[in-house]
């Protein structure tokens, strides 16, 4: 009796699928490794350089691990510039600047997403147009405005021109529009006004987007260099990134160990804030889950 050949098509399909999955994972891990290498290598070089002697930093071939680790660069960097004052200024500028940005983004995005008012579409298009304008274009008008108000070399002169950005409003507005309409309808049925709805419903459900934007704002304000440099003219009003710049300018020969130690002073607080805020992003995603 003649037997029919078995159909191997499902096995071949599974094998092809496994090979494609393997290729995809390999490409993903390769891209991840390259990304970590490109980002992590300069960071590692900065950290290791802060613990090297000047002679070892300039040695050829370079050493990846400090041969004679030293902490001498850290007190030298701290004493070369008034870093204590720079820290206070950076904290004030970042706290109030980011706070204003998040507040205006949360409220204006709610208006664009849920309120009806004349010219809403055209105002939103104007907002999108503002995203296309480079920051450098607005420096001169902002400086003239700040000078007219007498805010040169003041905290309000540093903070207020950047107190609101179009990107935050656009980001949160797009996120608000993904919220389930049933929840908004339930809030209206319960008699909640706009402020109550924003505070008790929209903001908790949008915590991942709000925290993500807040982190971006904090990093941007903490690392801002050009505008504080332009609008201030005394060391007492400088911020940390300008302090790093003066470590390079005031030395006849650049001591890269001191510069890298000072850079760690700038990077460490932002890194701690990011590690602390990670759990809020996860909690916000869990809180925003809606069961059908």
Return per-residue pLDDT of the chain as tens, 292 residues: 455 555 556 666 666 666 677 777 888 888 888 888 888 888 888 888 888 888 888 778 878 888 888 888 888 888 887 888 888 999 999 999 999 999 999 999 988 888 888 888 888 888 888 888 888 888 888 999 999 998 999 999 999 988 888 888 888 888 888 888 788 778 787 777 888 888 888 888 888 888 888 888 898 899 888 899 999 988 888 898 888 887 776 655 677 888 888 888 888 888 888 888 777 666 555 444 444 4
Tell me which DSSP letter residue 136 carries.
G
CATH of the domain at 190: 1.10.3720.10
Q: How many residues does the chain have?
A: 292
Q: What share of the chain is helix, strand, coil (3-state, %, to 5)?
A: 75, 0, 25
Range(s) of the domain holding residue 77: 73-287
For residue 111, give the nearest of 100, 102, 120 by alpha carbon: 120
d(CA 5, CA 1): 13
Flag whether 60 is in a domain.
Answer: no
Flag whether 228 is in a domain.
Answer: yes
Flag whether 93 is in a domain.
Answer: yes
pTM summary value: 0.79
Q: Which tokens go with 51?
A: 């613990």
Say what the pLDDT of residue 271 is.
Answer: 84
Say what the pLDDT of residue 19 is.
Answer: 66
Q: Which tokens go with 187?
A: 């809030």
Flag whether 133 is in a domain.
Answer: yes
Flag whether 231 is in a domain.
Answer: yes
Flag whether 68 is in a domain.
Answer: no
Q: Which tokens go with 213?
A: 């934007």
Say what the pLDDT of residue 146 is.
Answer: 92
Flag whether 28 is in a domain.
Answer: no
Q: Which tokens go with 277?
A: 């805020």
The total number of structural domains that make up the chain: 1
Flag whether 7 is in a domain.
Answer: no
């Amino acid at each position: 009796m003649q037997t029919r050949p078995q159909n191997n098509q499902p096995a071949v399909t599974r094998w092809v699928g496994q090979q494609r999955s393997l290729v995809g994972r390999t490409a993903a891990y390769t891209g991840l490794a390259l990304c970590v290498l490109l980002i992590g290598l300069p960071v590692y070089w900065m950290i290791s350089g802060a613990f090297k002697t000047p002679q070892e930093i300039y040695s050829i071939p370079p050493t990846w691990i400090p041969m004679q680790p030293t902490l001498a660069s850290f007190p030298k960097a701290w004493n070369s510039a008034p870093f204590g004052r720079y820290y206070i200024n950076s904290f004030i500028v970042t706290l109030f600047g980011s706070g204003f940005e998040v507040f205006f983004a949360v409220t204006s995005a709610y208006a664009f997403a849920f309120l009806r008012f004349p010219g809403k579409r055209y105002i939103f298009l104007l907002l999108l147009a503002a995203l296309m304008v480079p920051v450098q274009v607005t420096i001169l008008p902002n400086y003239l405005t700040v000078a007219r108000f007498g805010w040169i070399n003041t905290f309000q002169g540093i903070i207020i021109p950047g107190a609101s950005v179009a990107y935050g409003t656009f980001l949160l507005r797009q996120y608000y529009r993904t919220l389930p309409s049933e929840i908004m309808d339930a809030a209206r049925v319960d008699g909640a006004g706009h402020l109550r709805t924003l505070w008790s419903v929209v903001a908790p459900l949008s915590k991942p987007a709000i925290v993500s934007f807040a982190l971006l704002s904090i990093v941007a304000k903490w690392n801002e260099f050009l505008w504080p440099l332009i609008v201030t003219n005394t060391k007492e009003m400088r911020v940390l990134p300008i302090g790093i710049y003066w470590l390079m300018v005031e030395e006849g020969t650049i001591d890269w160990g001191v510069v890298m130690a000072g850079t760690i002073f700038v990077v460490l607080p932002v890194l701690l804030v990011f590690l602390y805020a990670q759990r809020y992003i996860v909690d916000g995603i869990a809180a925003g889950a809606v069961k059908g």
